[in-house]
Structures are given as C-alpha cells and as structure tokens.
Chain A
Amino acid sequence: MSNHSQAHPAHLQHHFVDSDQQFDAAKMGMWVFIVNEILFFGGLFCAYIVFRAWYPDLFTQAATELNTVWGAVNTLVLIGSSLTVAMAIRSAQKNQIKGLQINLLITIALACVFLLIKYFEYSHKLHIGIWPGAELYTYEGIDHPLAHVFFSIYYVMTGIHAIHIIVGIGLMIWIYIRAKKNEFGSEYYTPVEMVGLYWHLVDVIWIFLFPLLYLIE
C-alpha cells in the first residue's frame, strides 16, 4: 500500500484504527468463541444429564471401570498447565521473551503428558472390549443392558475434549515459533493471551468432566 506513509506498528492490521481496538476486538471475539464452545459441550452435558437421570445405576456401575487415580493425575496436570500458560502471558506482558518461551514449552509438555495418560486409559479399555457404540462393545463386566450408552457418552465427551487439547498443542507450537521470531513483547501479545484463554477453557471443561465421569458414587 503506497499511501501507508505514516509509521505504524507491524502487528496492526489496516482495518483497525489502533492497537487498542485490535486487542479489544480480538478479546471480545475470543469470548464469543468461548460461549460457542460452552454451548457445544452443553449439548453433551445435556445428553449426560438426561441419561443419568433415567439410568442412575448404569452410571454408578459403569463409572467403576474408569481409573480415578489417573483421572486425578490428569486433572492436576491440566491445572498445572493452566498455571504455566498464565505465566507465559505474564512473561509476554513483562517483555521476558525467554520466560514466555520456557513457559510455553512446559505447557506443551504437560499437554502431551495429559494425552499420553489418556492414551493408556483408552487403549486399556479398548483392549478389554469397551468400545464406543453398541456395535463394537463386547465387554461383559458390567451387568447393565445399556452399558454401551455410558461409554458412548464417555468417549464422545473425553474424545472431543482430547481433540481440543491437540488443537491447543498446535496453537501453542505456533505461538512458540512466533515468540522465537521475537514477534511478541509488552507492546503486542494478543495471540498469546487468546491461546491462553482457549487453554483455560479446555482446562475448565476437564474440571467438569472429571467428577461427572470418574467420581460417581
């Protein structure tokens, strides 16, 4: 654009008046997106509530198949990663680029730990015949005709959550690469903050999933 004679920050997109407007818009958009996500999972929670109300003993019986210890470990892992992502944002705000990078790396590592544990949980279940859906489900250890329904709900909720984790890892790698290129600092850290918000959301959803699925008595 030839008529861009005045100097302005490199991150500022041309359709915004200034950096503040750009930041405000990004933040608002992110919150609206979070509302979207909540309704998306809301549908699943709704299915969960309905079936739990109809078949309470299905849920108490089937939940014993889930490994509470590993679920709890994963909860701690995610809470830890929420802390580190918050520290990453703080580092960016304070212009500590090294700290930003380190915190991002720790967050990514924790997210991978979460996925790893989830992988072991899943593969154990699949191994003993607990598959999603009536067609593949062969496990006989739960004495309830609708046992497959509980695990359908379990797989779809934790599965979609796991997809969110994977997306989050991708986003953080992207942020990390940009941070390495020195694109962020106290002047401009919008993407860091947005990814952080997203990560908190993923974390909060797990904090609901864990007790609802693992801790049924």
Chain B
Amino acid sequence: MATAEVSNKKTLKVQRFKPSDNPSNTYLTDEKGVWAWMTTVDHKKIGIMYLVAVAIFFAVGGALALLLRTELMTPAKTFIEADTYNQLFTLHGAIMVFFVLVPSIPAALGNFIMPMQLGAKDVAFPKLNLASFYIYVAGAIFTFIALAQHGLDTGWTFYTPYSTESSSSVIWVTMGVFILGFSSILTGTNFITTIHKMRAPGITWGKLPLNVWALYATSIIQVLATPVLAITVLLLTMERWLGFGIFDPALGGDPVLFQHFFWFYSHPAVYIMIVPGFGIISEVISTFSKKTVFGYWAIALSSLAIAFIGFLVWGHHMFTSGQSAVATTVFSFLTFLVGIPTGIKIFNWIATLYKGSIKMDTPMIYVFIFLFLFSIGGFTGIMLGALSVDIHLHDTYYVVAHFHYVMMGGTLIALLAGLHFWWPKMTGKLYNEKLAKIASVFIFVGFNVTFLPQFVMGAQGMPRRYYNYVDQFTAFHQTSTIGSYLLGVGFLIILYYLMHSLFKGAKSPANPWGSRGLEWQATSPPDFHNFDHTPVVIHGPYDYHQPMEEFQLGLAVDTNGHDSETAKEVVDKEREQWKNYSLG
C-alpha cells in the first residue's frame, strides 16, 4: 500500500496553464445555430439566454415606467385613463420584480460565472438548468396571456380581497408567478449542490470567491422562501376560482393571513434580489483596488446572516394592517437587526478601498454609485422600520423611493457593474469605455433626479399608486419625470455601445482587468468546458500580493480535463493534499 502511495505521489504534477489571448475554440464556436442554443445544457449559453430574456423584460418594464411617469407630468389626466394607469404600474412592478430582478444576477450572470469561479465544467444539474429557463419562459407566456386578456390591476402584491374581486386576469398572472417560482427553485437547488460538490481541487470554503458565497446565501433563501410563494399564489388562485374562504373575508377568510403569506416570501425575496448584487460588488471592488478584500469572513458570513434574519422581519410590511401591537414591536426590532450585517458589508468594502490602487474603470464607477445609492436605500429602510415613522410614511412615495434606491440603486446598479466587469469574459469583446462612463453619469444623475424628490413628497403625504395628485406636488412629480427620461437615455446609450461592442468591438485579452479570480484564468470567451485542464487553486481569490502565475495552475495530466481512472486518482490526491494545506 505504502509503496503504491509513494509512486502515486510521483505522478502528481501541477503545471501552469497560461490562458491564451487568442483562443481558437470557444463556447461560441463549439455549438452553433439556433437549435444548438435552444437545447444546450452549457451553463454559459443558458446564462446568456437568461441575460437576453431579462434584458427584454427590463426594456418592457422600463417602457411601462416611462409611460407612468409621463402620465404623472400633470396633476389630472395627462394622456391615459385611470384604469390603464393601474394596469401599467401593476405590470411594471410585477415584471421588474419577478421577471427581472429575481432571476437577473443569479440566473444570468451567476449561471455564467459561478461554475467558472469554482473551476467546474458545468453546474451539477445542467438539464435542470435548461429546464429552469424554459419554465421561466412558460411563466412569461402566462403573464402575456393575462396582458392580452384583461391585464392586471392589483399591484404586484395581489392583496386580497381586491385581488379576488378585480375584473382583471388575476389567475393568469398568479399561475405565471407559480410557474416562475419553480424556475427560481431549480436554480437555487442547482447552485447549492454545485457549490457543495463541484469545487476544483484546492477551493476550500475559505477560498470561495465572495460572489459564490453571495449566490450560496441567495440560493438558500430561494429554496426556503419560494415554495411558500408558490403555495400562496396557488391558494389565491383557488380563492378566486372556487371561493376557498381562506383569504377572502366575505367567505370567512382572513386578508391579513394573505399578507403574512405573501411577505413571508416577499421580504426574503428582496434579499434574493440584493444579496447576489453584494457578491458582484465584492469581486469588482477588490479587482479594481488590486487588494485583498478586507474582512473576507465578515462579508461571507454576513450574507448568511442576512439570509437568516431576512426570514424574521416580514411583518414590517404590515404595521398598519391590524397586526397585534406585540408582533409589530418585535418585527420593528428585528428589522433594525437586518441593518447590522448590511452595515458590516458596507464598512468592509470601504475598508477594502483604503490604500488600494484604485482604478476608476466603468465597473468600479458603478460600485461607487452602488455604495452611495444603496446606503441611502438601506438607511431609509431603517427609518421605515421605526413604528411611529412608518405609520406616517406607509403607502406613500417615501416607500416607493426607498425600494427604488435598494432595488434599482442596489441590485440593478450591481448588475450593471457585473455586466461591465464580465462582458469581456462573456463575449470576448471590449466596449467603449468613454461612452460607458458618459452613460453612467446619465444613470447616476437621472436616478437621483427621479427618486430623491419622491422621498420629499412622500414625507409630505403624497400616497403611492395614485393617478391624480394635488397641485402642491406638481414640481416634485415633474422633476421626477424628467429624471426618468435621463435614465432612459442612459440605458439607450448602454444598449448602443454594448451592441456595438458585440459586433464591432475590439478583441479582449483573457484577463483585461488583471483580476486574480479563477474565471479570468480561462480564455475570453471561455472554452466550451470552461478550462481545458482541471484548475488547481492554492491562493485565495483576492490575493493580489501573490504572482499571477500561481493563479494559473492546473493538473498536469494529459486527459484533457476529462475523467479517467488516473485523473480521478490524481484529483483525489490533490484534494487531500490541498485540504491539509489549507488546514496547516
């Protein structure tokens, strides 16, 4: 036995694989044609398909938003009917939450990047991954059927009893959301398994990129919360269809119970949206400061803390719904607690910047925008969590401004940071840095012009979801509308230069930012199998003080990264060896 081991050790070899800047074979050249794309189980292609779908939905949701803002130019009717207005804001909200923000970072960017950061060839269940995409499409079709019928005017929250009475097509949308939930669940299940089981030799939990930690926390929330949403919308469908009497007060049900069910999912869901954004911020901030992330474990574990506490605060959406005084007080206190792990992250990111060699490329600009906007969103969340304040602010534009600062200023800006960061990796092309910077100015200015006035008018009493308003708010609303046009221009610029980059952009080298992340040690765009060797990791993902060569290691076995008995032995050996390495 002992001799066998010794001889085995001799065959262990790690060698350097420098990624080529001019790959001849990539995932884009390997399986071509529409059919190959539609049936692919390659996580990269599925990620791209999700990205395209999310972008289309974002364009639809964004266009709806511009219509809404245009209607609000004048206090009375501007150009659409009140009923139409109700439908537009409902669809805007439902599309942006369920079809854009929830799948955006995990299913689009996460799908593409996460297996590469683990040095894996794919996610654990590639077929489920493809299925999740088609389930998403099916959910979308249901929603479009609703649109073609009577639309939806309940608000994205589907509160009973209105949702059981409304004459719009509630059932189509709730069934759409039900189906969509499965897509989210499959992604979460897949990611948890992938992170546990598919890590390349040497990637211990302590060397996991923070993006992966964030996706891990997100997946846990997805798995625990989404089934509850599924059952909630199912019961709501039954309530409307058969009169179940569980949520409808006229039949003996309780509408507050519906709110509990809904927010038990939907508050954690806001963390499904934001936590993956945190992951991107950590990656980008370290790459563009050329410095180890400050407080690795603090950032990693605070994601899990947020996931956990996030399940205990849903009642803060129901302070005015007739919840008991005790419950309200407890929920208020727990809501303040969520601020702690979030604050920990912000402070650690700031500390990462300290004495870093900061390079203000576009992804980094979005990180700064994120830090600024998300902090405002988080602080105003704490204000809303304070009972006496919330009684005044609930259902006003202040809440609207709060959640746009976190969802758009947080998640969407983080998505833009990630998109600009990984674009060269995904497409193999560079984009126009100058236009990108100009667009980011439009986005930043436009965003604040749109949403800052909403804090003020909300505090002065402007209710949300209203079609008309009193004259005193005219100036605020008009400023806000102009801001939204600026935002629109910003996104059009982005669309333009990204398309230009796709078709005419300059070729990107394998690692244009000089990142230490494993995904950057593949070619741009990556090989069909991500790496054509089995990567071996010996340093943490942010160890910028170590030379680049040591991040480019892989098993020196000539099996082309494919499985075989020898490869298995070598990999097992490597695993053992690096396990000890990290402990010692």
Bound complex: CA A127 to CA B319 (Å): 45
Q: A6-B559, A135-B242, A156-B244 are in contact. Are A29 and B189 (CB under 8 A)?
A: yes
Question: Which of chain B's residues have a CB closer than 8 A to the CB of A126?
Answer: none
Q: Is A132 close to B, CB under 8 A? A: yes
Q: Which of B193, B563, B568 contacts A28 (CB 8 A)?
A: B193
Bound complex: CA A196 to CA B303 (Å): 34
Closest to A38 in B: B227
Q: Is B463 close to A, CB under 8 A? A: no
Q: Which of B189, B234, B257, B563 has the most CB of A within 10 A?
A: B563
Q: Chain B 521-548, CB within 8 Å of chain A: the 1/0 string?
A: 0000000010000100000000000000
A15/B251 in contact, CB under 8 A = no
A135/B243 in contact, CB under 8 A = yes
Q: Chain B 230-267, CB within 8 Å of chain A: the 1/0 string?
A: 11101100100111111000011110010001000000
Q: Is A133 close to B, CB under 8 A? A: yes
Bound complex: CA A133 to CA B197 (Å): 45
Interface hits, B537-577 → A, CB 8 Å? 559-560, 562-565, 567-568, 571
Q: Which of B189, B193, B246, B563 contacts A8 (CB 8 A)?
A: B563
B245/A29 in contact, CB under 8 A = no
B568/A18 in contact, CB under 8 A = yes
Bound complex: CA A8 to CA B562 (Å): 10
Q: Is B291 close to A, CB under 8 A? A: no
Q: Is B190 close to A, CB under 8 A? A: yes
Q: A43-B227, A47-B257, A149-B252 are in contact. Are A134 and B193 (CB under 8 A)?
A: no
Question: Which of chain B's residues have a CB closer than 8 A to the CB of A16?
Answer: 563
Closest to B189 in A: A32
Q: Which of A14, A16, A42, A133 has the most CB of B within 10 A?
A: A133
Q: A134-B243, A136-B242 are in contact. Are A28 and B251 (CB under 8 A)?
A: no
Bound complex: CA A46 to CA B189 (Å): 23
Q: Is A201 close to B, CB under 8 A? A: no
Closest to B200 in A: A17
Bound complex: CA A152 to CA B236 (Å): 12
Bound complex: CA A29 to CA B126 (Å): 12
Interface hits, B279-302 → A, CB 8 Å? none
Bound complex: CA A153 to CA B242 (Å): 12
Question: Which of chain A's residues have a CB closer than 8 A to the CB of B241?
Answer: 133
Give the Cβ gap from A117 to chain B, nearest Cβ, in Å: 24
Give the Cβ gap from B244 to chain A, nearest Cβ, in Å: 4
Bound complex: CA A152 to CA B244 (Å): 6
Q: Which of B241, B251, B261, B559 has the most CB of A within 10 A?
A: B251
Q: A36-B227, A133-B245 are in contact. Are A3 and B562 (CB under 8 A)?
A: yes
A6/B562 in contact, CB under 8 A = yes
Interface hits, B193-224 → A, CB 8 Å? 193-194, 196-198, 223-224
Q: Which of A4, A136, A152 contacts B562 (CB 8 A)?
A: A4
Q: A35-B223, A35-B224, A47-B257 are in contact. Are A17 and B563 (CB under 8 A)?
A: yes
Bound complex: CA A51 to CA B241 (Å): 20
Q: Is A173 close to B, CB under 8 A? A: no
Q: Is B441 close to A, CB under 8 A? A: no
Q: Is A187 close to B, CB under 8 A? A: no
Q: Is A50 close to B, CB under 8 A? A: yes
A36/B196 in contact, CB under 8 A = no
Q: Which of B124, B185, B234, B254 contacts A25 (CB 8 A)?
A: B124
B564/A6 in contact, CB under 8 A = yes
Question: Which of chain A's residues have a CB closer than 8 A to the CB of B534?
Answer: 17
B244/A40 in contact, CB under 8 A = no
B227/A39 in contact, CB under 8 A = yes
Q: Is B71 close to A, CB under 8 A? A: no
B252/A25 in contact, CB under 8 A = no
Q: Is A57 close to B, CB under 8 A? A: no
A156/B197 in contact, CB under 8 A = no
Q: Chain A 95-132, CB within 8 Å of chain B: the 1/0 string?
A: 00000000000000000000000000000000000011
Bound complex: CA A38 to CA B190 (Å): 18
Question: Which of chain B's residues have a CB closer than 8 A to the CB of A134?
Answer: 242-245, 251-252
Q: Which of B232, B252, B565 contacts A145 (CB 8 A)?
A: B252
Bound complex: CA A133 to CA B236 (Å): 12
Question: Which of chain B's residues have a CB closer than 8 A to the CB of A135?
Answer: 242-243
Give the Cβ gap from A62 to chain B, nearest Cβ, in Å: 13
A17/B227 in contact, CB under 8 A = no
Q: Is B502 close to A, CB under 8 A? A: no
Q: Is A65 close to B, CB under 8 A? A: no
A146/B252 in contact, CB under 8 A = yes
A133/B243 in contact, CB under 8 A = yes
Closest to A46 in B: B261
Bound complex: CA A28 to CA B565 (Å): 24
Q: Is A195 close to B, CB under 8 A? A: no
Question: Which of chain B's residues have a CB closer than 8 A to the CB of A21?
Answer: 197-198
Bound complex: CA A24 to CA B185 (Å): 20
Q: A14-B562, A42-B227 are in contact. Are A132 and B257 (CB under 8 A)?
A: no
B125/A29 in contact, CB under 8 A = yes
Q: Is B399 close to A, CB under 8 A? A: no
Q: Is A44 close to B, CB under 8 A? A: yes
Q: Is B153 close to A, CB under 8 A? A: no
A133/B563 in contact, CB under 8 A = no
Bound complex: CA A146 to CA B120 (Å): 55
Give the Cβ gap from B26 to chain A, nearest Cβ, in Å: 16
Give the Cβ gap from A35 to chain B, nearest Cβ, in Å: 6
A148/B251 in contact, CB under 8 A = yes
Bound complex: CA A146 to CA B559 (Å): 68
Q: Is A174 close to B, CB under 8 A? A: no
Q: Which of A3, A15, A29 has the most CB of B within 10 A?
A: A15
Closest to B232 in A: A43
Q: Is A12 close to B, CB under 8 A? A: yes
A37/B227 in contact, CB under 8 A = yes
A148/B245 in contact, CB under 8 A = yes
Q: Which of B223, B251, B560 contacts A32 (CB 8 A)?
A: B223
Give the Cβ gap from A175 to chain B, nearest Cβ, in Å: 17
Closest to B224 in A: A39
Closest to A32 in B: B189
Q: Return 19 A-B CB contacts under 8 Å, by A number.
A: A3-B562, A6-B562, A8-B563, A13-B126, A14-B562, A17-B568, A21-B197, A25-B125, A29-B125, A32-B192, A32-B223, A39-B223, A40-B230, A43-B228, A46-B261, A50-B257, A133-B241, A146-B252, A149-B246
The 10 closest A-B pairs by CB, nearest first: A133-B242, A43-B231, A6-B564, A40-B227, A134-B243, A15-B122, A15-B121, A152-B244, A39-B227, A149-B245
Beyond A15-B198, A148-B244, 13 additional pairs, beta carbon < 8 A: A6-B564, A8-B564, A14-B562, A29-B125, A29-B190, A36-B185, A41-B231, A42-B227, A43-B231, A44-B231, A134-B252, A148-B251, A152-B242
